[in-house]
């Protein structure tokens, strides 16, 4: 498991991760943590997904009946969460399985979420790992990130192995998954990833995560690195007292925590 740190945002704890999954992951609506489709490559794709997410239930059901995979996933999300309908876990799973049969990586990821969270089914971390693996194998950044998280923390019957999780985090980070970028920063800061401690690389990853989705955990840790004098301030970094006057100056950790 991740070692305990005094900083509130030093790591993404297991409980927080599970709460995050339950709150937002099983949805095809746009969200900083769960965009509607992680593989959408064109504005036309995104527009279609937004239209599907806003559809009335009857229209959505009709589109799903026509075989539209994304409509099936949106409909599954509504039945899983009780969004405008009664919660119907078997129906949600059946719809996701239809999308999975069509090769959809997001549906695979969502099946992992349901097993991870116990959403209408018993909590089963080993099953969650299997679904995350399937999703990650198709290049889904959420599958990559959560598989890395499970590997690093030793969940689902896996021995904790942060060095083994790094390649998956790098793949997700390359697709601008901000929590993967944050986690890589933490691994370089702590040395837990097997590469040794490297504050400059940690700072670079925190900067990327902050730029991607204004990741507050990354911004918090970046401010601490700056405040402790472990890295130098760069243009674009958070402005903290005295640091704005000179990139060579630093503030103490207490001041950094107040920002």
Please write the tens of the pLDDT for every residue from 199-210.
999 999 999 999
Q: How far is CA 91 from CA 6, 82, 149, 151, in A?
A: 44, 12, 28, 30
User: With 50 as the cut, is the pLDDT of residue 250 above it?
Assistant: no
pLDDT of res. 42: 54
The pTM of this model reads 0.77
The structure tokens listed for 58 are: 């009857």
Please write the tens of the pLDDT for every residue from 87-135.
999 999 999 999 999 999 999 999 999 999 999 999 999 999 999 999 9
Do 184 and 169 contact (CB within 8 A), yes or no? yes
User: With 70 as the cut, is the pLDDT of residue 152 above it?
Assistant: yes
- In terms of C-beta density within 10 A (0-12 exposed, 13-18 middle, 19 or more buried), how is residue 228 classed? middle
Comparing 175 with 36, which gets the higher pLDDT? 175
Residue 211's pLDDT band (boundaries 50, 70, 90)? very high
Residues 6+ apart with CB under 8 A from 218: 178, 181, 182, 185, 205, 206, 207, 208, 209, 210
Q: Which of 37-51, 153-167, 219-233 has the lowest mean pLDDT?
A: 37-51
pLDDT of res. 46: 76
At CA 137, angle to CA 205 and CA 180, rounded to 5? 15
Within 13 A of 53's CA, how many CA atoms are on the CB side?
15
User: With 90 as the cut, is the pLDDT of residue 2 above it?
Assistant: no
pLDDT of res. 167: 98
Please write the tens of the pLDDT for every residue from 5-54.
334 344 333 333 333 443 344 433 322 333 333 344 456 677 888 999 99
């Amino acid at each position: 498991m991740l070692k305990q740190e005094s900083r509130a945002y030093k790591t993404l704890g297991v409980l927080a991760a599970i709460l995050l999954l339950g709150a937002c992951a099983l949805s095809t609506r746009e969200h900083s943590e769960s965009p509607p489709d992680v593989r959408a490559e064109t504005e036309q794709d995104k527009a279609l997904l937004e239209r599907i997410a806003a559809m009335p239930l009857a229209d959505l059901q009709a589109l799903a009946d026509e075989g539209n995979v994304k409509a099936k996933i949106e409909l599954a999300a509504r039945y899983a969460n009780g969004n405008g309908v009664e919660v119907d876990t078997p129906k949600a799973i059946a719809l996701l399985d239809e999308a999975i049969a069509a090769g959809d990586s997001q549906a695979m990821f969502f099946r992992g979420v349901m097993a991870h969270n116990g959403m209408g089914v018993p909590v089963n971390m080993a099953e969650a790992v299997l679904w995350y693996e399937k999703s990650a194998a198709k290049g889904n950044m959420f599958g990559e990130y959560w598989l890395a998280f499970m590997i690093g923390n030793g969940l689902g019957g896996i021995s904790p192995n942060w060095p083994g999780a790094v390649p998956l985090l790098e793949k997700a980070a390359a697709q601008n998954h901000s929590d993967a970028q944050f986690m890589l920063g933490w691994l370089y800061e702590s040395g837990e990833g097997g590469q040794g401690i490297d504050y400059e690389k940690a700072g670079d990853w925190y900067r990327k995560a902050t730029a991607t989705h204004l990741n507050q955990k990354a911004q918090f840790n970046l401010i601490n690195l700056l405040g402790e004098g472990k890295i130098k301030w760069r243009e674009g970094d958070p402005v903290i007292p005295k640091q704005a006057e000179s990139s060579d100056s630093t503030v103490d950790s207490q001041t950094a925590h107040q920002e």
